[in-house]
Amino acid sequence: MVKSSILGYPRIGADREWKKALEAFWAGKLEESAFENQLQDIRLNHLRKQKERGIDLIPVNDFSYYDHILDTAAMFGIVPKRFAYEGGAVSLSVYYGMARGTKEATASEMTKWFNTNYHYIVPELDGATPALTENKPLNAYREAKEKLGIEGKPVIVGPLTFLKLSKGYDASETDAWLDRLLPLYVQLLTELAEEGVQWVQIDEPILVTKVSEADIERLRNIYGTINKAVPGLNILLQTYFESVESYEAVVQLPVQGIGLDFVHGGTANLAAVKQFGFPSDKVLGAGVIDGRGIWKASLREKLSLVQELAGLVSADRLIVQSSSSLLHVPVTVGKETKLLPELRGALAFADEKLEEIVLLTKALNAGEEAIASEIEQYEKDVLALRESSQRNRGDVKQAVAAISAGEPSRLPFEERHIAQQNKWQLPILPTTTIGSFPQSAEVRKARQLWRKGEWSEAQYEAFIQEQIDIWIKLQEEIGIDVLVHGEFERTDMVEFFGEKLAGFAFTQFGWVQSYGSRCVKPPVIFGDVAFEQAMTVEETKYAQSKTNRPVKGMLTGPITIMNWSFVRDDITREQIAYQLAYALRQEVEALEQAGIGMIQVDEPAVREGLPLKEADQASYLAWSVKAFRLTTATVQPETQIHTHMCYCEFHDMIGSIEAMDADVISIETSRSHGELIHSFEENTYKLGIGLGVYDIHSPRVPGVEEMTNMIDRALRVLDPKLFWINPDCGLKTRGQEETVASLRNMVEATQIARNKHAVQV
């Protein structure tokens, strides 16, 4: 019989109860025992739901108190020395200290999980002596079995992936570190086998990236050692997000099953299975339901695919499953009551994907006729959206085709820079912020009253202007050179624009985890995108009227809006990016016409969308750069274009960043402790740049000396005449007191740097 499974389920709960529990605990409003009980209730509810829906192999240990990579590091006692860890099970205070920082210690670095909008905490191996502190997968297995009678499938991050995603060691130490980690994996898996566990899912998504011959040999050693130590334990080696590299070698590893993504790596994985076959002694985990997208599957197409696979692998050796963990999609469509019928009918979130997996499994086991009515309904739902007027706007398609036919460009930077310096007369090392300021409970309450209709448009506008007044004055008092209006009218940097553009829809409860307790509700780009009216001009003009210093207009760029949204799957992402660029270009022009001479078009998510396959990366970067330039290239030379990027490693795309041709780019570097500066030690960069000098994701207030050191190192390799000083990201999630204190320190550090470099303002 064919079995069904998923690779993981969303942690946050349908009402974000997980997030609320974490934040209550951090705020001291929830005792640790009550916190543990609440998380257990959430965890068991998720397992119960999968059991009731009919999933055969239910994952356990996919639940986390913050992040699954952090969990793995804690389980192996890999804790940076600055957290004063003394061995044994890692306490919640140390665990959350690593994630969020403490007053005494900076948080560990956070970076993106492959090419998703999820971010993990980077393990720091330097100085660590790993040991198995607690068998978390075993605890999760026991809990599911004892509480719900579920024979769970423990999920573990594999040794090679864990090591490749860690920092604090030299490449020459790779094998030495594997020698330290592998016995711990063997110990963990031995305890699982002794408990009677049948299947363990070991995630090795690193195998969809470029792997060397040395890595293949390491895999043979890792899984050969494991197989020899626990020969009776079934290991499902799981890959996802793309097609597996070195297919022939991977499927011959001594494991009992291989999981492949037949959605995001579908064509290549299927071709490999057809060309090279699939071992008759292994189970195939067929990831046929999209774990990252929100669209209802065409059951007819998916059934055709799994039937094809069933012709290559015997029924008792086939598992129908999601292409990746469902961590990346919202929990359920069931609560969405305000969407257009044709849109709602075409959506499938985590719970609906469980249904799709079960239906396909049923069809394979009982015959296609067993789900005939469901196939027909699904096809109707998919077709209704495809034929809707929102997806077939001729005016948008024609205009976008026209503007994207050429290559957008401005005057050379050197000429623009002179014009801008003459206009703005800024001091050396100008200071600014990234855009948003703290959104207090008062701000959130005001927005809620306005959205509910309890406040009039005039009341809400007056309130927003009051907040702008407060923060314009504060910025002037602190000594910031280039100001921002604070974005108090915006809930989210993508949602705000999506609400004002055609082609977008918004869910009520479509939350997904971005990092830690930070949840986002991505817009849904379901139709052709079009500009309808000015979106940011009113607030920016008002802020500029309150100061003689320049105020930046603030927009989110086309690639970030696309990458932080759920996008339609009937046209290419390049086409979607150009539609967004055309709409945003009209907003840029409206700001310039309103007298705003500095405009920031943020692109923090360009790196996140970079394809995992090297062969696809150049094309993506080329059209991403083009989309940015389509947005910004029509302004006058003296209008200064800023952009911002964060959370990412940029050493492999410095050329593309420069090709965006922004007058000033600010880049996050604080959480990587200045490592990004190394990229500029090896590469010349001739445009304006600001490297974030402190981490806004941690509640601590950084000291002046700490920021001064960051500035000094940057100025060893970057031109002071082109260098800007700023935080590493927006300040929306921080409190007013810490924000003001941090910015005062930043300005003081700037003045020290100006004096140190013998440049008097």
Radius of gyration of the chain, Cα coordinates, nearest whole angstrom: 26
Closest CA to 13 of 725, 439, 723, 511: 511
The answer to the question of whether 732 is labelled as a binding residue is no
Tell me whether residue 328 is one of the annotated catalytic residues: no
The answer to the question of whether 651 is labelled as a binding residue is no
The answer to the question of whether 369 is labelled as a binding residue is no
The answer to the question of whether 17 is labelled as a binding residue is yes
The answer to the question of whether 434 is labelled as a binding residue is yes
The answer to the question of whether 417 is labelled as a binding residue is no
The answer to the question of whether 648 is labelled as a binding residue is no
| Pairwise CA distance, residues 653 & 482, whole Å | 28
Q: End-to-end alpha-carbon separation of the chain, Å?
A: 77
> What is residue 645's three-state secondary structure?
strand
Say which of 46, 673, 697, 757 is annotated catalytic: 697
Q: Do residues 298 and 382 lie in contact, with contact meaning Cβ atoms separated by under 8 Å?
A: yes
The answer to the question of whether 135 is labelled as a binding residue is no
In the block, residue with structure tokens 């592998």 = 182
The answer to the question of whether 146 is labelled as a binding residue is no
Question: CB-based burial of residue 659 (10 Å sphere; 0-12 exposed, 13-18 middle, 19+ buried)?
Answer: middle
The answer to the question of whether 729 is labelled as a binding residue is yes
The answer to the question of whether 657 is labelled as a binding residue is no
Question: CB-based burial of residue 441 (10 Å sphere; 0-12 exposed, 13-18 middle, 19+ buried)?
Answer: exposed
Q: Do residues 660 and 720 lie in contact, with contact meaning Cβ atoms separated by under 8 Å?
A: no
- Check residue 85 and report its DSSP letter: -
Closest CA to 329 of 512, 504, 488, 169: 512
The answer to the question of whether 18 is labelled as a binding residue is yes
Query: Phi/psi of residue 529, each to 5°?
Result: -85, 135
Q: How many CB atoms within 10 Å of residue 275?
A: 9
The answer to the question of whether 46 is labelled as a binding residue is no
Q: What distance lies between CA 190 and its chain's CA centroid? A: 34
> What is residue 508's three-state secondary structure?
coil
Q: What distance lies between CA 272 and its chain's CA centroid? A: 29
Closest CA to 142 of 22, 227, 44, 229: 44
Q: How is the beta sheet containing 59-60 ordered, strand by strand?
A: 3-5, 318-322, 283-289, 257-261, 234-238, 199-203, 153-157, 59-60
The answer to the question of whether 357 is labelled as a binding residue is no
Q: What distance lies between CA 466 and its chain's CA centroid? A: 33
| Pairwise CA distance, residues 253 & 235, whole Å | 11
Look up residue 608 and give its two tokens: 């996140």
The answer to the question of whether 164 is labelled as a binding residue is no
The answer to the question of whether 726 is labelled as a binding residue is no
The answer to the question of whether 568 is labelled as a binding residue is no
The residue count of the chain comes to: 761
Residues with active-site annotation = 697
Which residues carry a binding-site annotation? 16-19, 112, 117, 434-436, 487, 518-519, 564, 602, 608, 644, 646, 668, 729
Which residues carry a binding-site annotation for L-methionine? 434-436, 487, 602
Which residues carry a binding-site annotation for Zn(2+)? 644, 646, 668, 729
Which residues carry a binding-site annotation for L-homocysteine? 434-436, 487, 602
